[in-house]
Amino acid sequence: MIQDIYKEDEGTPHNAALPTDIAKTVLMPGDPLRAQHIAKTYLENVKQWNSVRNMFGFTGLWEGRPVSVMGSGMGAPSIGIYSYELYSHYGVENIIRLGTCGGMVKELELGDIVFALASSTNSAYAAQYHLDGTFSACADYGLLEKGVAAARSIGCRFIVGNVFSSDLFSLYSAEGSEGWQKWARMGCLATDMESYALYCNAAYLRKKALTVLACSDSNVTGHSLSAAERQTSLVNMFRIGLSFAG
């Protein structure tokens, strides 16, 4: 990939922002409406800088500290585009993915927070780097330490470990339960679809990334959070994400 093919004082085909519109730290939920909710509920002096393809982006202040929030869409290709441009064109240093996940181990209860220390995958995303092996995609340890401290400060349940970033939404996969169980056997705690691509981009561009997930469904039990319970768990995730402002 080319480092940056766009002019410094312009946006990109996917992002109408100018480089000065976006903070050094970006919170990145998958759902653009969730990004809008975070901005309108928690931030002050909010400015919206993107609505291209309805992928909303905002910058505001959390307790006087600047932070941006933008949707990533679903899957590696989508977060791959947005995070790459944020890092390479907009000078973003830190991206904190805020998402939901499907639990793959019995120890992970609904509503728990998962910090993705690393991400495994069935995606070919890393093929673009022409590596003679398999790349292990990892979080930035400094961001991970800060996130864990924030989780402890609010007293929420959390777990740290490897996650499985799949190109297939597990409920629709032809492999069915057999597929995720293989990854769980190797110690993967939960499944999402975006962490691997985000961590690859951060590594390639010498930037920082961390995925923070709320467990909304369990592959083990088949249970899901109710609407009220889901909202509570997301609030904890949002509070952890906002601790990175500034």
- Any idea which residue has 């998962």 for tokens? 114
8 A C-beta contact, residue 177 and residue 220: no
- Residue 64's pLDDT is what? 98
Residue 211 has pLDDT above 80, yes or no: yes
Residue 210 tokens read as 């961390």
pTM, two decimals, is 0.94
Residue 79 tokens read as 């977060």
- Residue 195's pLDDT is what? 98
Separation between Cα atoms, residue 1 and residue 123, nearest integer Å? 17
Q: Stretch 219-246: mean pLDDT, rounded?
A: 88
Closest to 242 measured CA to CA, from 18, 11, 35: 35
In DSSP terms, 25 is beta-bridged to 94
**Taking the domains of the chain in order of start, what are their residue ranges?**
21-242
- 217 noted as active-site residue: yes
- Residue 10's pLDDT is what? 81
Separation between Cα atoms, residue 129 and residue 62, nearest integer Å? 37
- Residue 174's pLDDT is what? 54
Residue 243 has pLDDT above 70, yes or no: yes
Residue 44 tokens read as 């002050």
Residue 202 tokens read as 């951060």
Q: How many residues does the chain have?
A: 246
Separation between Cα atoms, residue 46 and residue 39, nearest integer Å? 7
Separation between Cα atoms, residue 199 and residue 229, nearest integer Å? 29
- Residue 1's pLDDT is what? 45
Relative to beta strand 94-103, strand 25-29 is: parallel
Closest to 121 measured CA to CA, from 73, 77, 70, 71: 77
Separation between Cα atoms, residue 239 and residue 69, nearest integer Å? 13
- Residue 231's pLDDT is what? 63
Q: Stretch 169-196: mean pLDDT, rounded?
A: 82
Q: Stretch 202-217: mean pLDDT, rounded?
A: 97
Set 112, 140, 192, 217: catalytic member: 217
Mean pLDDT of the chain, nearest integer: 93
Residue 80 has pLDDT above 80, yes or no: yes
pLDDT band at 8 (very low <50, low <70, confident <90, very high): confident
Q: Stretch 68-83: mean pLDDT, rounded?
A: 97
Identity of the amino acid at 13 = P
- Residue 2's pLDDT is what? 47
Q: What's the topology of domain 21-242?
A: Rossmann fold (3.40.50)
Q: What is the dihedral of CA 72, 78, 81, 84, to 10 degrees?
A: 50
- Residue 170's pLDDT is what? 62
- Residue 184's pLDDT is what? 94
What percent of the chain stands above pLDDT 90?
A: 85
Separation between Cα atoms, residue 105 and residue 108, nearest integer Å? 6
- Report, in this order, helix, strand and coil percent for the chain, each rounded to 5: 35, 30, 35
The pLDDT tens digits of the residues spanning 83-138 come to 999 999 999 999 999 999 999 999 999 999 999 999 999 999 999 999 999 999 99
Strands (E) in 132-244, as ranges, are 137-138, 158-165, 190-192, 208-218
